[in-house]
Every structure is written in structure tokens, then in C-alpha cells.
Chain A
Amino acid sequence: MNSLKGQIVAIDSNNHMSLVDVAVGQDVFTATLLETPATADYLQVGSEVTLLFKETEIALAKNLSGMISLRNRIPVVVKNVVRGDILSAVTLDYAGKRLVSVITSRAIDRLEIKPGDPLEALIKANEIALMAGHDDL
């Protein structure tokens, strides 16, 4: 599981759901949650939280242009690729932090992903879970 430590900078919520903006370094991640500040104590601007998302939920892009609905786009650099038959694990460096993306080996070939490549990592807002605090998992 990928985890990033951050701090809540904004919360936009209705009765049932919230859109939570979390600053991680220079970037702001957005997560959609079925929680509101009324149901979850930790949903407060300024709270320290950990972003959690599964490796299979990170998409990778090279020279992406045009418009895209995805909110979470971060610059990363490929450190390592472990190839499998169907899936491959790509280890990424994101501002000194380690992330792993699992994508199809076909995509590795098509994008010609190799160590040293600068890429853009994309994560859908509803795939990010928040955990209160900065505990290491």
C-alpha cells in the first residue's frame, strides 16, 4: 500500500460526503470520502493525516496533454521496474518519497518506461483513503 503523510488544508462537504484537500509537500491531493467532519473527528482543517492508496490504483502517463478529470497528478521519476508476465511493478520517486505503481506489462512496453524516466502519476480521488495521524503502517 502506498502511503503519504500530509495535512488537511480544506474540506468541502455535504450531508454525507466530503472532498478533502491534503497538502503533501508542494502538492495538494484530493480525496472523496463517505465521511463528514460530523461523523469523523479527524476531519479538521490542519489535521495530520496519512493518504493511503493501493498500488494498482496509480496510473502512469508520459507527456500527457489535454484535459482530464483526474484531480491527483504528481510528477515522479522511475527508479526501478520489475517485470511480470501480465503486470509489472514500477517503483517511483516522488519528491524523495517512494511510491509503487502496478500497471500492465503491455503498458510498460507501449510507454517505454525505464529507470530515470520522468512521468506523471495519476490517482482518482475516490481511491484515496485517509487515516488519522501519521502512524506508520
Chain B
Amino acid sequence: MIKAQINKRLIGANGSFELDVELQIAKGEFVALYGPSGVGKTTLLRCLAGLEQADQANIKFNGNTWVDTRLRINLEPQLRRVGYMFQDYALFPNMTVRGNVEFALRKGSSTHRINELIELMNLGELQHQKPETLSGGQKQRVALARALASEPSLLLLDEPFSALDTEMRSRLHNEVLRLQRSLGITTIIVSHDVSEVYKLAKRVFVMEAGRIAQHGTPADVFSAGQTSGKFRFTGEILALEPMDVLYSLTVLVGNQIVRVVAMPEEALKLSVGDAVMLVSKAFNPMILKLE
């Protein structure tokens, strides 16, 4: 279990602000840190990994004190047994794919684990290539394999899937989920993608300007207000046109364009570019199976 209380002054794009966070994560839990960029999510991960020092902090992992600024305790990152997947993957350019994964091996672990991970991550054919020859998705798989090769007791994923296309993303999501469950590693993912958070995390901490503004299950957190509608999508208004006594709104939801009608008094409060949530009762949508 992790118990962390971290306080650090940060310089953001709009002046300085304070990272002031307290969180508790159960062993084997998969949680997400969600929020826009520049609110301190990455700094929080780095403090947990020991790559950055907080001004004032207390971090305990499974009963061991990692950081206690009052007692001047600060365990080196080398001794924390953390698996960290960096935003830029941070693969070692001088080593092959296999070399990168092997480098992560702890003293005394068998190379058998390397073969397993290479197979699991589908890297067999690439294992003798250098990272610079790999695509973004392949690099991410290597980075994940390397993070796992060190047999971490805590896995930190910093926006690991942001550069991928939807299909690759979804495949890696399943992969991570499967691995995380079978290995039971406590995992924290930084993400600003609602669907990713929904899919992976049991619990989400929503961060705003250095603080945890909200936390709970993704379903709780992302259901804005409490409307009993079941069918909700966020989208962006592309066009508003009068249509008879009504208005027609063209809304971009994901990568689909949909049209909905609104009353004039609703439409007049909106303008092109506004973000809206479309809500419908669960009874309305008709379902057509796609072949």
C-alpha cells in the first residue's frame, strides 16, 4: 500500500503554484491521475519514483518509509523498485530492444524473464533492432517490457499511450490490464483521456492546479452532475442553424459528426466551439449491430 503526502512549489505556465496532494493506494490497485497538463501529475509521479524531491513529503510504501522530509529520509530511486514508463519512452539508444530489457534485470533474476517479456510484448522479431528503428507503438511496448523486467512493486505510467492510434492504444490497454491483473502490481497511470481512465483504472484522482479536486470511480467522477440519463457524450459544437421553430446543432463527438435539435432559447446560449454534453435516456437509442 502507498500512503503519500507531498508538498512542492512548482513553476507552471501561469506562475507558480503548490503541489499539495495526499493519496492512499491499496496494494495491487490500478489508479489514474487525470487532469489537464501542467497541474503537477508528472511531478507527483517523479516524487513517488524519487526522481524529484518534494519540499515537504511523507511517502510510505508497504510500511517502509521512502520519504520523510522531517527526518531527512529520502530513499534513492535505485532502491525503490519502481517501474517507470516515461513519456518519451527513454529507451537507451545504444542498446538493442533486448539489450534495453536485459539492462533492467535485477541481480540474480534469470534471463528467462527476458524471453517471457519479449514474447509477451510481441517483440521477438524486433529484439535485435536499435530503438531508433522502431515505430512509436513498438517503442512503447519495449518501454513497458523494460519497466516490467525490473520486477517492480510499483508501476508508474506517464501518459504512456498518448502517441498511438486508436487501435494500437486499445490493444496496449488490454495488454497492460492483463499484465497488471496477473502480476498484481500496484499501478498509477497519468492520463488526460477519459476513455483510457474508464478502461484501465478502478479509481481516479482528478487533479487541478496541484490539488486533488475529486476522486472516486471513473463512473462517479466523470458523471457530471447527477442526471439519470445513461447516454452521454461530450462534444464540440460545429454549427448552429435555425430549423423551423427549432435549431439544428451539428456536434463533433469523438470523430463522428452528429446532428441534434434544440429549442431556440437553448441554442442562443450556445456558440460554435462550445463544449457540450449530449444526454439521452437509456431508452431512446436504437441499436443496430455492425458486421
A and B touch in the complex (CB under 8 A): yes
Are B245 and A131 in contact (CB-based, < 8 A)?
no
Query: Does A93 reach chain B (CB closer than 8 Å)?
Result: no
Partner of A41, one of B226, B246, B261, B283: B226
Are B283 and A102 in contact (CB-based, < 8 A)?
no
Are A85 and B225 in contact (CB-based, < 8 A)?
no
Render A44-75 as a binary contact track against B, CB cut-off 8 A, 1 for contact. Answer: 00000000100110000000000000000000
Query: Does B279 reach chain A (CB closer than 8 Å)?
Result: yes
Are B246 and A102 in contact (CB-based, < 8 A)?
yes
Query: Does B263 reach chain A (CB closer than 8 Å)?
Result: yes
Taking the closest CB of chain B, its distance from the CB of A130, in whole angstroms, is 4
* Cα-based distance from A24 to B27 in the complex (angstroms): 48
Q: Which residues of B contact A107 (CB under 8 A)?
A: none
Are A131 and B226 in contact (CB-based, < 8 A)?
yes
Q: Which residues of B contact A32 (CB under 8 A)?
A: 283
Are B281 and A129 in contact (CB-based, < 8 A)?
yes
Render B261-282 as a binary contact track against A, CB cut-off 8 A, 1 for contact. Answer: 1010010000000000001011
A contacts with B, residue count (CB < 8 A): 31
Q: Which residues of B contact A129 (CB under 8 A)?
A: 227-229, 279, 281
Are A34 and B263 in contact (CB-based, < 8 A)?
no
Q: Which residues of A contact B229 (CB under 8 A)?
A: 129
Nearest neighbor of B266 in chain A, beta-carbon distance: A1
* Cα-based distance from A128 to B246 in the complex (angstroms): 20
Are B228 and A33 in contact (CB-based, < 8 A)?
yes
Nearest neighbor of B263 in chain A, beta-carbon distance: A55
Nearest neighbor of A35 in chain B, beta-carbon distance: B228
Nearest neighbor of B227 in chain A, beta-carbon distance: A131
Nearest neighbor of A18 in chain B, beta-carbon distance: B228
Are B246 and A40 in contact (CB-based, < 8 A)?
no
Render A76-100 as a binary contact track against B, CB cut-off 8 A, 1 for contact. Answer: 0000001111111100000000001
Are A87 and B227 in contact (CB-based, < 8 A)?
no
Query: Does B244 reach chain A (CB closer than 8 Å)?
Result: yes
Q: Which residues of A contact B261 (CB under 8 A)?
A: 56
Supplied contacts A42-B226, A126-B281, 9 more A-B pairs, CB within 8 Å: A34-B228, A35-B230, A40-B228, A89-B246, A127-B281, A127-B283, A129-B227, A129-B229, A129-B279
6 closest A-B pairs (Cβ-Cβ)?
A: A84-B244, A126-B283, A132-B226, A84-B245, A89-B245, A34-B282
Interface residues of B (CB under 8 A from A): 225-230, 244-246, 261, 263, 266, 279, 281-284
A-B contact pairs, 18 of them (CB 8 A): A1-B266, A33-B228, A34-B228, A35-B230, A40-B226, A40-B228, A42-B226, A82-B245, A83-B245, A84-B244, A102-B245, A126-B281, A129-B228, A130-B228, A131-B228, A132-B225, A133-B226, A135-B225
